Structure formats: C-alpha cells, structure tokens
Amino acid sequence: MAAKKDIRQLSLADLQLFFEEINQPAFRAKQVYQWLWQKSSLQFEAMTNLPIAVRASLEAHFDIPALSIHYRQDSKDGTVKLRFELCDGNKVEGVLIPVPADKRMTACISSQVGCSLSCAFCATGFLKRERNLFAHEIYDQVVQINTIAQEKFAMPLTNIVFMGMGEPLLNYKNVLQGINKITDEIGLGMASRRITVSTAGIAKMINQLADDEVKFNLALSLHAASDVKRNEIMPINQHNSLQALTNALKHFKEKNKRSNLTYEYILLNEFNDTEQDALDLVKWVRKVPAKINIIEYNKVEGTIFEKAGNQRLHHFINTLVKNDLTVTVRKSRGEDIDAACGQLANKV
C-alpha cells in the first residue's frame, strides 16, 4: 500500500482535485481546509460536518503530522520557552513573551532546525542547520503558543516574531506559506501588521519580499553599521554588504509602504557600543530611515562577548536621540531559562 501523504502539504486546489477523484462535491475541500487551518484540527474523525465515509477516505489516504511539546520551561518573569519535537525527531524552540499590562502576547517562533549563518554572538549559530521547517510546522508553533497564552494569561496572541532559530529568508517559501495560513481568513485570521520577520540581511531575498509586496513587517538584525565590524560578527555580511542591504531596503520601503521596518542592534561591551559606532548607526539610518531596537546582550556560553554596562548603554542611546533617531531599548525576557534573544539552542 502506498505511503500516506501529509494532507497539510496540499493546496485548496489539490484538495478539490482529490474530492473530484472520489466523486465528492468540490465544497468538501473548503470544509477540510477550514478544519486544518482555521480550527487547527489534527484528527479526521473530528471533522464532524463531513460524512463518515468521507472521513474514512481521508484517513486512508492522508496523515496530519504535527509537532508536539517536548519540554517546557517557565521563567520567573512569565516568559515560557517551549521545545517542540518534530515528526522526524528534530527539535526547535519557541517562546511566549507576555506583557499583560500592555495587553500584548508575543510568540517568538523558529523557521529552521538549527542555523547556517554562524553569527558570533548567537547560541543558535553554534548549531548545525539540519533542515527548513515546513509551513505547517511554523503554523503549529503559533497554535501551541497561543493555547498556552490563553491558558496561563487568559489572552490570545497579539504578535508573532520570526526571531527564533534559523534565518527565515533562507526558508522563504515555507515562511511565506506559513504566514499565509496564519493570516488567511480561512486560516487563523491574524493581521499581517502583527507579524514581524527578522533577517540577518540577505539582500536578494529582501528584494524578493519587496517584489512580492508582502504585508508583514521586516526587522534587520544589524548589530554593526560598518562592514569591518559586521563582517567580524556576522559572516553573512561578507556576501551582503551594508551597501547591498541599503539598496534592498530602499526597494522594500518603496514597494511595501504599509510594512514597518526596524533595525535591531545588540549592544556588545567595548565592541559596537562606542561613540563612533553610534555615529555610524546614525549615518546608516539616515540612508533608509526606520526605528531602532537596542537589545541588551544575553550571555551565551562559548562566546567572548559581554553585556554593555549601563553607562555605555545610556551614552550610546543619547547619541542616537540627539541625532533625532527613534530608539527603543528591548529588555531581556526569560534569561533565567535561556529563552532571551540569541539564547535558543535546545538547551535545558
């Protein structure tokens, strides 16, 4: 007997073709699609508006493989880190970042098993990239984290950030398909403006985002505004220079006027936190204006970097503010469970 297919790899048109082949009306396809992507059903028997014979046929032809929670850690600040096990045994991590006072629940999700970019300050960069996540594995992380947000805080997710394990733009097709399932009216129906994709900076794919006129937000993990320093901590910059990124981001802003652009900048003590570094950042931002998120560094075992002290942090920020830049400082969350920015590495 032929192996069952993963039904969530099928498009709506594929499902319509299947129902034609078993002499069922085409509207059954939309019913199944809604069960899969709107109601997040993982069992054919739960699809109660389908005849029993149709459910049996689906069971005979298809599987609904899904990730599961392998391990959960709860931080003293309310952050929840989840290690998800995929059907092939690989594992990725996702994080719920709650800010109940602001009525904000953010899911930080992964796009790849491991990462190939080897950024010097990031724990995930020490892992080998095993494979890309499928669209349904991206979607499932959101569903699982949303369930925990509602159980623990009685609030649904308000935001999604692709800032977990992996480089989203190196899994372009599946990331966009996953976002489509999350935002589709017969999916989870979440607003695109609530989703941010973070990239280490791949100019070709940023240009592709522009041409595809995506509606979600984009964040560039900048971390240094000179090629010399950026090359040192982010090898991807050797083939995606700051000038190439400038050109790509200008194209993105021209084509995607409703999408927000943010620059992320991790402050590393006595590396990228000097007066000159701040002035380099001012010069960069003026080329392609956007708000800046200053991120406090979270210590990663095996790296040489340290968190910048408060005096250096304040001086750096003051230089930016004096030059009329919009700056936010992102405080670490979940550091006690290795759930903070740059710490995801499948570590208990």
Q: What pLDDT sits at residue 265?
A: 96
Please give the CATH superfamily to which domain 68-337 belongs. Aldolase class I (3.20.20.70)
CA distance 317 to 315: 6
pLDDT digits 0-9 by tens, 158-183:
999 999 999 999 999 999 999 999 99
Is 232 annotated as catalytic? no
Are 6-63 and 68-337 in the same CATH fold? Answer: no
Mean pLDDT of 63-77: 94
- For the chain, give percent helix, strand, coil, nearest 5: 40, 20, 40
| Catalytic one of 93, 137, 167, 335 | 93
Task: Please tell me whether residue 107 adopts helix, strand or coil conformation.
Answer: strand
Distances in Å between the Cα of 76 and the Cα atoms of 34, 150, 162 are 37, 18, 23
> What would be the CATH architecture of the domain defined by 6-63?
Orthogonal Bundle (1.10)
Q: What pLDDT sits at residue 52?
A: 96
pLDDT digits 0-9 by tens, 203-242:
999 999 999 999 999 999 999 999 999 999 999 999 999 9
CA distance 81 to 254: 37
| Catalytic one of 108, 115, 119, 341 | 341
Is 341 annotated as catalytic? yes
Which of 57-66, 164-173, 228-237, 304-313 comes out lowest in average pLDDT? Answer: 304-313
The whole-chain average pLDDT of the chain stands at 93
Distances in Å between the Cα of 61 and the Cα atoms of 15, 140, 172, 306, 341 are 12, 22, 29, 54, 42
CA distance 50 to 56: 10
Q: How confident is the model at residue 2 (pLDDT cuts 50, 70, 90)?
A: low
Beta strands in 282-347 (DSSP E): 291-296, 327-330
For the record, the structure tokens of 3 come out as 């192996």
Question: Is 148 in contact with 82 (CB distance < 8 Å)?
Answer: yes
pLDDT digits 0-9 by tens, 7-24:
999 999 999 999 999 999
pLDDT digits 0-9 by tens, 238-281:
999 999 999 999 999 999 988 999 999 999 999 999 999 999 99
Distances in Å between the Cα of 264 and the Cα atoms of 40, 81, 170, 203, 297 are 33, 22, 19, 16, 12
Domain residue ranges of the chain, discontinuous segments joined by +: 6-63, 68-337
pLDDT digits 0-9 by tens, 333-348:
766 656 545 444 445 4
DSSP 8-class letter at 23: T
Mean pLDDT of 92-116: 93
